[in-house]
Structure 1
Amino acid sequence: MNDLNIHALSQTGIFKGQPLYGTPEETHISWVILSKKMAFKIKKPVKLSFLDFSTLAKRKKYCEIELRLNQRFSAIYLAVLPVRHQKNEWFIGEGNATIVDYAIVMKRMLPSKRMDKLLVKGKVLQEQIIALAKEVADFHTYAKVIHSPFDQDESRRTFNDIENAGTYVKENLGQSFQNIITLAIQWSDHFLATNKLLFAQRIREGFKRDLHGDLHSGNIFLYKKPVIFDCIEFNNDFRQIDVISEIAFLCMDLEAFGYPELSDIFLTAYSDHFPCIITSADQQLLTYYKCMRANIRAKVHAISAGQTIEGKVRDVHLAAARNYLTLIKTYIEK
């Protein structure tokens, strides 16, 4: 699939005998077509340093994995269905036309309920954060415990992968932001080298679990019962993590939006249900994971900016990358 095909599918495609008349949205690794009641997620045929969706077989595989993993905590995930094309006609579902891709079929949620949109409008309430904290803590409590050892080299590679965006950041945001990347990599290397025992201890204590892996406000709908979606399926190491890494992402995200008080409320409410930050070393680990999560978001937005032709969208991604890099600087200077 490509952008032109996605547009054709969204406008003229058929699902269960009815036209989609959908609106396509895009990330750096997928498209989502939003119809009146359903959402259809299709993976881009891309191969990056951290994922490989380059073949039809791989995209089908990861669609099926994504469905299974997300059904652990969300009822909106329904099925994986083929995307078919015949002459000028597009279909989602079974049939005789040629399979050109696969779509994850989901119930559509109200866009106005998505947490990041509510944060922009200043409409996220304290009680919603407390309810979300309980939802996350309950999921973490029963998530599968992972006993595999901490891989320092892999963690170092994950953090330092942002270096690949350094030249683009320098050209579009300036030397000072490339300097933040360099300093953050040095800071991370030092933290990883001096805290091997802490990482190993937390695994022994059962804090490494099979979680969501991408828990930020764009992946949460704030209904009375929060709806969490879109966990990481393409890399087990990104999802099978310390619970502190998971909650650090959401806390960092709230801080990036300018709501440190909501970050504190979430952390306190979560800890009431599932205590996992006990010692000063645990608190330092939280800061490290906040920095790592800001690092990944900065990289994602830099990649998206580089892939975007439309100027206004590109500027939005560059502004986000700038914001996350600025936040990284505050973490490493603590």
Structure 2
Amino acid sequence: MINKDHNVSTSEIVKFLSDSNHFPEYSNNVELKETHMSYVFITDNFVYKMKKPVLYPFLNLSTLDRRKHNCQKEIASNKTLAPDVYIGTVPLSLTDVGMKLEGQGTVIEWFVKMIRLPEQEMLDYKIREGEISIQEIISLGRKLSVFYKQARKKEMHEQEYLRRLRTFLSDNLESLRHPAFEITNEILDNIKTLQLNFIARNEQHLSSRSARIIEAHGDLRPEHICFLNEPVIIDALEFNPDFRIQDPVEELSYFSLECEILGNEWIGKKLLEVYESESNDHYYKGIESFYKSIRATLRALSSFRHLLDDHRNDPLKWKLKGLNYLMMAQMYISG
């Protein structure tokens, strides 16, 4: 993967920053994590996120300026739910002695710099260790309910919302027909038919949700939630505001799905219960499984897209993950 803005490749930058001595503050170690669109460098006290120079139909990070702008958008998108975590945008520069993070010189890459949150207080860790309390989830539910109440509302007519749902599920399933993914049409056709049939049978329940559409977090998962003095929620989806336009119940159903994948069923149910009570939003409970199904389809697509990466990072892992999401999408909509 080459950055066209300069002669230093992404792999060279990753290799450089895999050495803990190349960070501005002392660190015993540096841990590298990779997402579909970023490399994340975790030091003892900080996190540095570097955007990949990717070009997708929904995201263009192919130039240095675009990546800088995306870093700035990420910080702005997270100021409400994690105001003290995001420090700012910092450069990697070419100097007389080589590359330097937060140094003076010709900027060759931009990073989001964050405070490192304690791993043992992250929700995914707590779920695995069985150390999460009901009171913590109630606190999380109340914080999210306030966030949803104060979030920017999206005016949408009932039929417009139904069309949006149909387009969303159809586009995701069509994208999953890519030959590299090797998914049978039978599986995708069955999921699509069941999801569309649910909309047809439940138009009244779903269309009424159009009055609740807001600009939500966009990627609410257990690994994005940390319990400090109060819950902190990071990694709001920044690259396309339209992807954050959701029914709060859809977002919380997606969160519930991700908790279930980690082996916990009560957390998602409790969070939805707290939201319903705090928001006085008494919705038809049947839409939870529908929302889980269409979000599982999207997560399947996100997993399978890793097979298209140039470096083909652990393709079997991503294929199995994608197939598991598809299985869950079918399970939820068949119930």
- TM-score normalised per structure 1: 0.84
1:169 and 1:162 map into 2 onto residues whose CA distance is 14
RMSD (Å) for aligned C-alpha atoms: 2.8
Q: Match of 1:70?
A: 78
AA aligned opposite 1:90? M
The Cα of 1:31 is off from its aligned counterpart by 0.8
Structure 2 partner of 1:108: 116
User: Which residue in 2 is equivalent to 1:304?
Assistant: 306
Alpha-carbon distance in 1 for matches of 2:21, 2:94: 9
Relative distance call for 1:13 and 1:186 in structure 2 (3 A) is farther
- What is the identity, as a one-letter code, of the residue corresponding to 2:12? L
Checking the alignment, whether the CA contact within 8 Å between 2:181 and 2:319 is kept in structure 1 is no
Give the aligned residue type for 1:332: I
CA shift for structure 1 position 79: 0.5
Q: Deviations over 1:27-55 (max 9, x none)?
A: 01111111111101111111223322122
Quickly say closer, same or farther: Cα 1:298–1:107, change in 2 above 3 A.
same
Give, as a single letter, the amino acid of the residue that structure 2 aligns with 1:213.
Answer: G
Flag the 1:18–1:327 CA change in 2: closer, same or farther, 3 A.
same
Q: Tell me: CA distance 1:90–1:197, structure 2 relative to 1, closer, same or farther (3 Å).
A: farther
Structure-2 change in CA distance of 1:323 and 1:88 (3 Å): farther
Q: How does 1:68-107 map to 2 (within 5 A)?
A: 68-74=76-82, 75-86=84-95, 89-93=98-102, 95-96=104-105, 98-107=106-115
Match of 2:129 in 1: 121
Greater CA deviation, 6-15 or 123-132?
6-15
- Asked whether the 8 Å contact 2:306–2:313 carries over to 1, the reply is no
Aligned residues: 322
Report the Cα distance in structure 2 between the residues aligned to 1:13 and 1:157, rounded to whole angstroms: 49
Counterpart check, 1:189 vs 2:196? yes
- Give 1:33's aligned residue: 41
What secondary structure, in the 3-state scheme, does the structure 2 residue paired with 1:64 have?
Answer: helix
Report deviation, 1:208: 1.4
Q: Percent identity?
A: 23
Q: After the TM superposition, which residues 1-334 of structure 1 pair with which residues of structure 2 at under 5 Å, given as runs? A: 2-11=10-19, 14-16=22-24, 22-74=30-82, 75-86=84-95, 89-93=98-102, 95-96=104-105, 98-149=106-157, 150=160, 155-159=165-169, 160-167=171-178, 171=182, 175=184, 179-192=186-199, 201-203=208-210, 205=211, 207-276=212-281, 278-280=282-284, 283-307=285-309, 309=312, 311=314, 314-334=315-335
CA deviation map 1:269-303 (0-9, x unaligned): 22221232x243xx333322211211111112222
Structure 1 residue ranges without an equivalent (≥5): none
Determine if contact 1:162/1:181 at 8 Å carries over to the other structure.
yes
Distance 2:134 2:109 in 1: 42
AA partner of residue 128 (structure 2): V
Instruction: Kindly indicate whether the alpha-carbon contact (under 8 Å) linking 1:114 and 1:222 is maintained by their aligned counterparts in 2.
Output: yes
Amino acid at match of 1:127: Q
Change beyond 3 A, Cα 1:189–1:13? farther
Q: Distance in 2 between matches of 1:200 and 1:57?
A: 40
* Matched-pair contact (CA < 8 Å) for 1:7–1:24: no
Tell me the distance in 1 between the aligned counterparts of 2:47 and 2:86.
9
> Paired residue for 2:7?
none
Query: Which amino acid letter does the alignment assign opposite residue 49 of structure 1?
Result: P
Identify which range, 194-203 or 100-109, moves more after superposition: 194-203
Q: 1:249 to 1:88 in 2, by over 3 A?
A: farther
The residue type equivalent to 1:288 in the other structure is: F
| CA distance 1:56–1:195, shift in 2 (3 Å) | farther
Q: Is the 2:220–2:254 Cα contact (8 Å) retained in structure 1?
A: yes
